[in-house]
Amino acid sequence: MFDEWKFLAGVGIFLFGMSLMEESIRLLAGRSLKSLIRRFTGTSPRALFTGALTTAILQSSSAVSLMVLAFVGAGLMTLGNAIAVIMGAMVGTTFTAWMVAFFGFSLKIDALAMPMIGIGGVGITVLGKMPRYLNLCKLLIAFGFLFLGLDYMKSSVEILAASIDIASIPDLGIWVYVVTGIVMTAVMQSSSAVIAVILTAIFAGIIGFGEGAAMVIGANVGTTVTILIGAAGGIPAKKQTALSSLMFNAGTALVALPAMPLMFGFIHLFLDPAENPVLAIAAFHTLFNVMGVILFFPAIPLITRTLENLFPKKRTSLGRFIPNTSPEVPEAALTALRNEIIHQLSISLDYIAAKYGLKGDGKEKKGTEKKGTDSAGKDKIIDKNIRYRDLEHLHAEIFSFYARIQGHEIEKTQALQLEPIIRSSRSIMNAARNFHEQLPEVEDMAGDENSFVAGASENFRERLKELWIMAERLRKSHDDNPKEKLDKLFHWVEARDKEFIESCSRAVSKGIIVEDEVTRLLMVNRFFTQSCRMVILSMEALADFSS
């Protein structure tokens, strides 16, 4: 008699094992895993390979797809490369089918599962205070649960198969199995788990190879539900990325369904589905996704243009002063330009503070947006959704306005005032870019096993927080002579730079860090110090303009 609770327990244990595996691998990889995706997606072929490799490691195409959504939303990845990563992720996720098909049905599962769970459980107790070994033990337990859940599913379905007359089952049509695969994946939120159920049913003889292949196609389409949910209500770039996933998977399914006889014939050249249907399904899963990549990868530029037309990005100006000011009136134009650069400084610091996870000095009430008054007397609301690309656009608008001012006749004294403040805008942009580009390094350091390196990451954040808070206080103070305070701030930056270099020197002499590590730390420190200097010098130039 079919034990439905045992089958459900098997599904639950398998899903828990997948979740634990994803978590432990992500923690073992540290923050460098996200850095890997961000850095190695510069071209579509590299993005395709990165998507496949990362998904094979994480065992979750959904996790990789959601990370891609985050990178696209942050402006760190282009839509075309995001589509390539998602295509690669669908190929990478087929690794699960091969692993389950080979190990789960070719070996005695409980002979693997029990030792893994036992050794991993003891390891967590004994090595619980050592993060890396703790996560290795969790990974071992995850594999054990994976195989144990598969064993529960297999044994419970085998009982059901023994009582079913396969010949008496009506031919429901291929589309029923496709829809079943879609629904199961949408509900379980894991195509890997659904593939495991399909392999179990095939192994037990409940469904045939053809029906299983149709369910695999449905499971691939169903996996897009997660990324569609993740993009709901998001910016146009996220919607474009999510829809590209649906287009790729649904388009591949529509091509594959009528081509199934040809695909079966190709698989038969290497495997006999009648003798080994489980491995044949794993092969079909890989062939199906590789075929999709071959068909749609060359069309990425066309898909990108189509999606950008469907969901056009709303280009809004961040400028608050120069859009409503004519460059033909030099006095007004110069004042508007200065106020706009002060605005640029403020939102640039807010953006960097948000990216680094910094919080203010605690003077504002929690849970409310900070409303203040800038030098022009207008309300300021901090926008938490500003992206790095927005800062670039604002800098371009400022420079364009500056160029239009120069196109008109201005007095010599006005021209002398103009140059320092436009240099301030460039310096603010350079500082923002440096902080933006150094974030992956700082995050990677935070997860380092070496406590000195991890402490350096916190040191950089503290210095940036202090600069942010002090800069905001100076900006809002309306001090007629802020030079003295800015000088103190500059000396503070120099002192912290010197302290850090000295601490690195001591750490090297004591063997706490090696030469490669100190080079990395000193380079990040150099960028941080230079960026802090640029911010302060920009504030001095803006202060000189008003005096």
Complete domains list, the chain, with CATH: 4-310 (no CATH), 326-546 (1.20.58)
Residue 59 has pLDDT above 70, yes or no: no
Distance from C-alpha of 463 to C-alpha of 512, rounded to nearest angstrom: 23
What's the mean per-residue pLDDT of the chain? 78
Q: What is the pLDDT of residue 291?
A: 93
Is pLDDT of 131 > 70? yes
Which residues, 6+ apart, have CB-to-CB distance to 31 below 8 Å?
Answer: 440, 443, 444, 446, 447
**pTM above the 0.95 mark?**
no
Per DSSP, the residues of 109-150 read HHHHHHHHHHHHHHHHHHHTTSHHHHHHHHHHHHHHHHHHHH
Least confident of 7-16, 121-130, 146-155: 146-155
pLDDT tens across 260-270, in order?
A: 999 999 998 88
pLDDT at 5: 81
- Please give the pLDDT value at position 428: 92
Q: For residue 206, what pLDDT is reported?
A: 79
Measured between alpha carbons, how far is 383 from 351 in angstroms, rounded to an integer? Answer: 8
Quickly state the pLDDT bin for 381 (edges 50, 70, 90): very low
Q: Give per-residue pLDDT as tens, 209-238.
A: 888 899 899 988 888 876 777 677 667 777
Q: Which residue has the tokens 């409980």?
A: 110
Task: Give the residue among 64, 46, 43, 39 at the shortest CA–CA distance from 54.
Answer: 64
Which comes out higher in pLDDT, residue 544 or 382? 544
Token duo for residue 51:
């998507």
